[in-house]
Structures are given as C-alpha cells and as structure tokens.
Amino acid sequence: MVKSSSAPGSKPSLTDSGNAEPRGVPISSSRTGDLLAHVSPTVTAVMVDAAFFLHRSRRIFGDQTPKQAAGKLHRLALDHLNDGRGGRVARLYRIFVYDAPPASWKGHTILGKQARDFSKTPTASWRRDFHDALRSRRKVALRLGEIPSNLARWQLKPDVLKDLANGKRTWENLSDDDFRLDFRQKGVDMRLGLDVASMAYKRQVNQIVLVSGDADFVPAAKLARREGIDFMLDPMWATVRPELCEHVDGLRSVCPKPSRRPVKNDSAEESPEGDSGQT
C-alpha cells in the first residue's frame, strides 16, 4: 500500500479517512445477506453533470470556493454508496465528472465595441480552479468537452427582451449590459454516453448513479438498463422531466433540500455564474 507521502503527487490510500471503498463484511457472518454482500457487492459508478451540479449546489449551499465545491461533489458521490442509515453497502468504481473548460472567447461588445477576453474573467478562473481541485480527488475522472469560440453569439437578456416586447423599452436605449454572450458546450453528452456503453458492455459496474436533470441522457440510461445495470438518478431535489424519470430505475437525492432562499456564504470566493434552480 502506497501512502500519500511516499510519492510526489500521489493521492491518499483507501485506508485514509473519507475513503471511497466500503467497510469489509466478515465472511463468517451468519446472516445470508451479509455473506452475499461480501461475495457479490454492488459496484457503483457515479456520473456527474458538472454544470447541473454547480447550478443546484449554489442554490442549496450558497457561494463556495472551488475547493469547497469539489469537496461537496466528492462527498455527494460517496454518499450514494451508503444506505439510508449511513452504512456502506456498495463499492465505488469511479466518479466521472463531465464539464467543459472555461470559454476562451476574445472579441468586442456588440454595441460599444469594447475589447473582451472571457478567459481572464473571475468566472473562468473559478472554473479552472474547480477542475484542478477535482483532479486531485481520489477516484475522480474529469471528462472535458469543449466550447467552440466560433459558435459564440450575443443575445439579449430574457428580461430585456420581455421589456422590449411589452413596449417598456426601445431599441434606441439599449446598452452592452443588456446583452450576454451565449456559449454552448460540445462533446459532453457524447463522452458520457461512451462511458456508459463501455462500462455496460465490459460489465465493469452493476449500478450507475447519474447526477443530472437533462433528458438528453435518456439514450444512455436506456442502454444501461438493457444491459442489466441498475440506473439511478440524483436530481438534487430538482423537478424531473417525465421522459427522463420513465427511463431510470429510481430517484434518490442525498444532498440537503434547498431552502426557499439561497444560502449565502460571505467567506466564499467568486463563484460560477448561474441563477436559481427549480425546486
């Protein structure tokens, strides 16, 4: 066993506190359930849509530093290995986190023609630190898509567009603050689908927990279930679309329920942008 201090950059061993493995069940136990749990354990892969997690996490926990957010994500994944009483009943295969690197778009504002570099914004810096914090966590695999700069488009903010439609504002008094740059992640859904297919066909796991609320993942869920995998969904207490709920084996949220008002944490650093989520 390699201790964390034995090699530069090594991660803590599974015997450390906060480990990612289940507690052993003695074979000598007289209970049949315990024996079966030892001989044929549930092997679980936890797959997290990072954009969804950060959106809900900010609603539930308030503003957080990148390190705090990475810790919350890791803890949420490990909690899925426990039963309702806190006892470890499953073995962790890996925690997959799907996201895209911060946008590196450089250009000018639509009206004022002011130079903008989105790679140097506080939000981009926060996201990079968040990814670095995840990379140092035990059993975490970070899967990054991309945000093509050539697909970025300026869009009116929804409330501004509504005011224009209602005649409360006119086009002549618009400013750069009334527009936002729309970025779209590419390749994230594909990477998640490939990982699900690989684990299903290779029989590497017998349970998958997906932390998301996106119905785009329905094909992956259907494939996993056809291969005999127990596919669970953790929507973090968000409303689940019927087409997604129909194709999973169960719903389970292990994080605290969100309060009516978002929690504030004045000690936290700059957090990623995002609005309130559904409850």
Mind giving me the DSSP string for 243-276? HHHTTSSEE---SPPPPSS----TT---------
Burial of 195 (0-12, 13-18, 19+ CB in 10 A): buried
- Is residue 218 over pLDDT 50? yes
- Residue of 149, 144, 143 whose CA lies nearest to 104: 149
Which option is the CATH number for 40-100+139-146+188-251: 1.20.58.340, 3.40.50.620, 3.40.50.1010, 2.60.40.10?
Answer: 3.40.50.1010
Higher pLDDT, 113 or 271: 113
- pTM for this structure? 0.76
Q: What is the pLDDT of residues 93-142, one digit of tens each?
A: 999 999 999 988 888 888 988 888 888 999 999 999 999 999 999 999 99
Radius of gyration of the chain (CA): 22
DSSP E strand boundaries for the chain: 42-49, 90-99, 106-108, 115-117, 140-144, 153-156, 179-182, 207-211, 230-234, 250-251
| Residue 72: predicted pLDDT | 97
Domain segments of the chain: what residues?
40-100+139-146+188-251
